[in-house]
Amino acid sequence: MVNDDAYNSSDHLTLEITGDGSATFYSEEFGEHFHCRNGAYTDAQRNYVDAANIPELARAERLAILDVCYGLGYNTAAALDTIQRVNPDCQVSIRALEINAAVPRNAVANNLIHHWTPATQVILKTLAIDHCYQSPTLDIQLLIGDARQTLQPLATQGWQADAILFDPFSPTRCPQLWTVEFFALTAQCLADCGILATYSCAAAVRSAMAMTGLNLGSLPGVGRHWPCTIATKDKRPLPPLSQQEQEHLKTRAAIPYRDRTLNATAEAIVAHRQQEQQQCTLEPTGVWRRRWLKGVGSGASTSSA
């Protein structure tokens, strides 16, 4: 991802209103929105907090959450509001990773956090300035820097998350955080009974997850035109991938991104994957897409990403 100093201005962020009335930023650097344009708040609640089963997990005495790519703070905020509603006595530990400290600051400065409860707004404001928040029931740290580097100490320390909210920019825009190696590092921080939720259903993403031993499931993406993905370490029953989604994993689109040193550039990661795709004998993704566009079945997005 980009260096924070090069992306330390609101000039790179354009505010846009989404379908549920909430606002998000458009990143000129990555050419994408931070949240689903059909509803940023809805996206955070339904596709992350609910998908990661946080309403149920919050009933426990303790709950640990890893927020990969904190951004505007919406996923963490939705989790905090949910936990407060379900079990205000829950002891919550959150580690949030974000490369650009200007993004949460600009979210606060533009009052994009007004939807959340007053208590959660205070937390988001504190995190934007101090990068940490402590209370009798909360231990939150916002770790600024390349997630490939900031996650390594957590994995080394054996820090375990009951829920991982995995929300980088898309694989084609930010391949560094969708590699086999980064998923392996992320999986080290996932508790044995934990759950990971992400918006992506890209074949390269799902194959990378599977290569790290994660068990995959598919959920309808609320407000999205494609399914979301959930993953666990254990083999509990999850909503299965459709036939279309399973066949997608047998095409060239399923060649994963690799970053064996966890410091390669996006360009190098993409170039290496393209070379592997050219040399592989898997079915061309276009053949799979045309087969399903002809009405053989329905289910997953026909994205080849």
Task: Specify the pLDDT at position 194.
Answer: 98
- At residue 263, the 3 state secondary structure works out as coil
User: No. of H helices and E strands in the chain?
Assistant: 11, 11
Fold of 38-242: Rossmann fold (3.40.50)
Q: How many CA atoms lie within 13 A of 155 on its CB side?
A: 15
Q: Cα dihedral sign for 55, 44, 178, 125?
A: negative
Q: Which residues pair with 214 in a beta bridge?
A: none
Task: Specify the pLDDT at position 216.
Answer: 98
Measure CA 93 to chain center. 18
Task: Specify the pLDDT at position 223.
Answer: 79
Contact assessment for residue 141 and residue 42, using Cβ atoms and an 8 Å cutoff: no
> Could you read off the pLDDT of 168-197 as tens digits, one per residue?
999 999 999 999 999 999 999 999 999 999
Contact assessment for residue 101 and residue 131, using Cβ atoms and an 8 Å cutoff: yes
Average pLDDT, the chain: 92
Task: Specify the pLDDT at position 142.
Answer: 98
Q: Which residues of the chain have pLDDT under 70?
A: 1-11, 295-305
For residues 105 and 127, give the distance between their C-alpha atoms in angstroms, rounded to a whole number. Answer: 9
For residues 261 and 148, give the distance between their C-alpha atoms in angstroms, rounded to a whole number. Answer: 10
Residues 6+ apart with CB under 8 A from 215: 231, 232, 233, 234, 235, 236, 238
Give how far Cα 305 sits from Cα of 28, 32, 254, 286, 293, Å.
20, 15, 9, 11, 17
For residues 152 and 208, give the distance between their C-alpha atoms in angstroms, rounded to a whole number. Answer: 18
> Could you read off the pLDDT of 46-62 as tens digits, one per residue?
999 999 999 999 999 99
DSSP E strands: which ranges in the chain? 13-17, 23-27, 32-33, 62-68, 91-98, 132-134, 138-144, 161-166, 190-198, 215-219, 228-232
Task: Specify the pLDDT at position 12.
Answer: 83
